């Protein structure tokens, strides 16, 4: 069935370093790949997304890359700050006309000051 | 614009009872999706509504049901509650129904004792 694998499950970096989170999806019909940031006790917040007709998208310190052939997509955060500490979820849309998202298991990012 | 709202925010029920959760999407958004979030299973898709029609359904038992009203507000109902239904129930609002950006509400924390 549909599946999204996410690695690593935990990631600790020093402030100012870069962080990379990787996801792999199984549904070749997936065409939309959002990333969410969830702070403790808060709602998931959409931080960036990419569609299958684009290979890379950047928004300030955050970038996402997509390799459709390999069914891989990644989140890159540069110049990390303590406020970047949170759980990050990747997701892939189910193929077809639907908003259904299949989520990865999450990455707990800790940015050490 | 006001964000997605969910009521109630917290709920404690006993096994066998039923519960109704409510979600009000962002003004102008016509699609509402529901997700269950637990530490063990992560974010799991429950169902999706657009213009009062259920467009997609996840792999949950028939005890989980939902509906959408003409003003796009949505409710989900869980009957015959089980301990394993304890979770954070999140709704997400989007403009359309085909891989559109989804914005989450704060969630309803349901505890079943």
* Tens-digit pLDDT profile for residues A61-110: 999 999 999 999 999 999 999 999 999 999 999 988 888 999 999 999 99
pLDDT band of residue A53 (cuts 50, 70, 90) is: confident
Contact check, Cβ <8 Å, A44/B104:
yes
Rounded to whole angstroms, how far apart are CA atoms B21 and A92? Answer: 26
Q: Which residues of chain B have pLDDT under 70?
A: 1
- Which chain A residue shows the shortest CA-CA distance from B93? A99
Contact A104, A6 (CB under 8 A): yes
DSSP for residue B63: T
Q: How far is the alpha carbon of B6 from chain A, nearest alpha carbon, in Å?
A: 11
Residue A33 near chain B (CB below 8 Å) = no
Q: Which ranges in A1-113 belong to alpha helices (H)?
A: none
Contact check, Cβ <8 Å, A100/B56:
yes
Helix (H, G, I), strand (E, B) or coil at B85: helix
Chain A interface, mutation test: which of B43, B88, B101, B105, most A Cβ atoms within 10 Å? B43
């Amino acid at each position: 069935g549909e599946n999204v694998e996410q690695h690593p499950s935990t990631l600790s970096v020093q402030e100012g370093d870069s962080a990379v989170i990787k996801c792999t999806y199984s549904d070749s019909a997936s065409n939309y790949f959002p990333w969410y940031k969830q702070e403790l006790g808060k709602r998931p917040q959409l931080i960036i997304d990419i569609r299958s007709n684009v290979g890379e998208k950047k928004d300030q310190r955050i970038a996402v890359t997509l390799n459709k052939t390999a069914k891989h997509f990644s989140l890159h955060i540069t110049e990390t700050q303590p406020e970047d500490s949170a759980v990050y979820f990747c997701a892939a849309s189910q193929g077809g006309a639907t908003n259904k998202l299949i989520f990865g298991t999450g990455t707990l990012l800790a940015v050490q000051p | 614009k006001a964000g997605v709202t969910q009521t109630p925010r917290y709920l404690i029920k006993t096994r066998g009872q039923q519960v109704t959760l409510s979600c009000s999407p962002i003004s102008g958004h016509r699609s509402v999706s529901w997700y269950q979030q637990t530490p063990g299973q992560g974010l799991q898709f429950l169902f999706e509504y657009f213009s009062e029609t259920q467009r997609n359904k996840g792999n949950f038992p028939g005890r989980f049901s939902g509906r959408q009203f003409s003003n796009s507000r949505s409710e989900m109902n869980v009957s015959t509650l089980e301990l394993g239904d304890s979770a954070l129930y999140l709704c997400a609002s989007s403009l359309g129904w085909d891989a559109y950006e989804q914005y989450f509400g704060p969630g309803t924390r349901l505890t079943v004792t």
